[in-house]
Chain A
């Protein structure tokens, strides 16, 4: 083939390659910049504005009237309110507490399931994994709703317990924190089970045999070998339950009581009921700051796992 033609062809391919590469990166990049990052800047901006009866219901951040000078109207009032009114601090603290307890409960419930799945005959495993994922595909709202009928005072759980004769008076579960724990564990269980399973199933069975061979009893081997090796799964699963649980709205709203303070619910109320967009924005900014620590820790953990596996 003609050398010049060949060279031109190569250069053309290269140019197309660069262009293609650029557009592959640019289209999702620009989309996310505009629809994900910019909105946060706006939240930040509005969190230092004041509420007013207008459309939109907040004051502008700055004005630059013709011939006049640049004026900035940032106010820290919303943040001062979050600190001074103990409602907000209690809501943040309570959200963290409920998320932490739910995470621990999910680990307690999820570990035996994941362990049994990893030990099940190989032919079953794909089906078992699908059975864990399937509820995750069905509507979150519906799954939370299903618990209302079960936990109500005249609900099915109380019916069954009374029929067995365990209780005389109905247990009051719905509209309490306990119902919220149940709802979070139930809704987020797949997020706990799947990473645990992924770790446990990869574990080399000969490690347990080696431990037994060296004189270690099965219970000892569980704590000394299985649990440490499942650690990445435990950490990943716990973050995957904890982080979304902190900002949860649907579960405390439908299952929790009026006293179940959670920050996602506060934000919703400020926005929809009080129509106080600036305070809602300030609540969101602080919630993000609270969550940034576990999110960064989680990202770092995942990064390390990927590197360790590579």
Chain B
């Protein structure tokens, strides 16, 4: 991981930024530090303010409050055409009356770069995105994937300090999108430019980004590396937004030896989870999150007295190739999802629909959420 947010002074600092449209607050007091060379993702459902935040960085919207500092320089005073920042638009916004070369060279022409240098840099960036043969085509003569590359090349060619990508892969089909994610990462590593990507696709954010900021109704819900976001979500919102999750509500009984013991109706011996620095105290209402793939499913019961053990009936089995998903209805009526890899499918002990099963998971698989 190249990100080192604590080490050097922040490359891009977003300080208490808010944006209001009339009575609607699109971005609400957001503060973020982004490091040089980082691949940073703003992730959230549509309407969470991520695109507005990006457009403020590009200069198309003015913050209602707060400051945007790039290498310590306030961006507010600069109109979009003076910022050392380029953007790749969701619609690509390719100029339909210009060829691929015309589009890519446009930004360099604005800076009155010498003609020979323009030619060289356009060739270089088109080679980078593997479009060298299509330089003279017009945008409507290109496929969706090729247009996406032209848009990327056009935003890269000025070598901005910061590249903003607004849902850059949303218009591509699934297969192409996955392939392009890796190409995007490779290109980012080669050019070394700081990327800020906006996406609503959690898989995409997890794949490409060094760090992710999950946004919820204009605010930042959590900023972390992809694995930390997945393994240690801090709120129910983040846990449910990233991947599938089972949520159990209960009451903390005791804290012993770094583990919190939780009373919960379906678990005879209670639930156990690693405690967190900020609590909870015995008697608090708490919420636990458990990822489906961490839950073991077995025909027989674990030893009595084991924490994190429950019993129920299999109501549905979804076969997904490498894994199968089991939906288990507990005695209380609550449904829990468990995912098992299919290595053992043809081995003994296959579980069928309607079977009575026992669920269990290790203590460290339980995640305590902030209530």
Q: Do chains A and B touch in the complex (CB under 8 A)?
A: yes
**With A and B bound together, what is the CA distance between A210 and B85 in angstroms?**
11
The reply on B95 being an interface residue by CB < 8 A is yes
**With A and B bound together, what is the CA distance between A199 and B93 in angstroms?**
16
**Given contacts A206-B91, A229-B96, are A213 and B86 in contact (CB under 8 A)?**
yes
Nearest opposing residue in chain B for A216, CB measure: B110
CB within 8 A of B93: which of A204, A228, A229?
Answer: A204
Least CB distance, B70 to chain A, in whole angstroms: 15
Least CB distance, B295 to chain A, in whole angstroms: 45
Which chain B residues in 155-195 approach chain A with CB under 8 Å?
155, 158
**With A and B bound together, what is the CA distance between A214 and B111 in angstroms?**
9
The reply on B248 being an interface residue by CB < 8 A is no
**With A and B bound together, what is the CA distance between A295 and B90 in angstroms?**
41
Q: Are A216 and B60 in contact (CB under 8 A)?
A: no
Q: Are B79 and A212 in contact (CB under 8 A)?
A: yes
CB within 8 A of A207: which of B60, B86, B93, B110?
Answer: B93
Most buried by B among A209, A217, A231: A209
**Given contacts A207-B95, A209-B60, A209-B80, are A215 and B158 in contact (CB under 8 A)?**
yes
Q: Are A213 and B87 in contact (CB under 8 A)?
A: yes
Nearest opposing residue in chain A for B90, CB measure: A206
Q: Scan B52-89; emit 1 where CB is below 8 A from any A CB, else 0.
A: 00000011100000000000000000011111011101
Q: Scan B104-117; emit 1 where CB is below 8 A from any A CB, else 0.
A: 00110011000000
**With A and B bound together, what is the CA distance between A210 and B93 in angstroms?**
6
The reply on B97 being an interface residue by CB < 8 A is yes
Least CB distance, A217 to chain B, in whole angstroms: 6
The reply on B154 being an interface residue by CB < 8 A is yes
**Given contacts A206-B89, A209-B93, A210-B87, are A217 and B81 in contact (CB under 8 A)?**
yes
Chain A binding surface SS class: helix
Least CB distance, B121 to chain A, in whole angstroms: 13
CB within 8 A of B106: which of A204, A206, A211, A228?
Answer: A211
Contacts of B95 in A (CB 8 A): 207, 210-211, 225
**With A and B bound together, what is the CA distance between A136 and B155 in angstroms?**
46
The reply on A135 being an interface residue by CB < 8 A is no
Contacts of A206 in B (CB 8 A): 89-91, 93
Interface size on A, residues (CB 8 A): 18
CB within 8 A of B89: which of A209, A217, A224, A231?
Answer: A209
**Given contacts A209-B60, A228-B97, A229-B96, are A215 and B81 in contact (CB under 8 A)?**
yes
Most buried by B among A204, A214, A228: A214
Least CB distance, A239 to chain B, in whole angstroms: 20
Least CB distance, A220 to chain B, in whole angstroms: 7
Q: Are A213 and B80 in contact (CB under 8 A)?
A: yes
Q: Are A213 and B58 in contact (CB under 8 A)?
A: yes
Q: Are B93 and A212 in contact (CB under 8 A)?
A: no
**Given contacts A204-B93, A209-B93, are A214 and B106 in contact (CB under 8 A)?**
yes
Nearest opposing residue in chain B for A231, CB measure: B97
11 further A-B contacts with Cβ under 8 Å, apart from A212-B79, A213-B87, are: A206-B91, A206-B93, A212-B80, A213-B59, A213-B80, A213-B81, A215-B82, A216-B106, A216-B107, A224-B106, A229-B96
A positions within 8 Å CB-CB of B? 204, 206-207, 209-217, 220, 224-225, 228-229, 231
A and B contact pairs by CB, cutoff 8 A, 15 listed: A204-B91, A206-B91, A206-B93, A207-B95, A210-B154, A211-B95, A212-B81, A213-B58, A213-B87, A215-B81, A215-B82, A216-B81, A224-B106, A225-B95, A231-B97
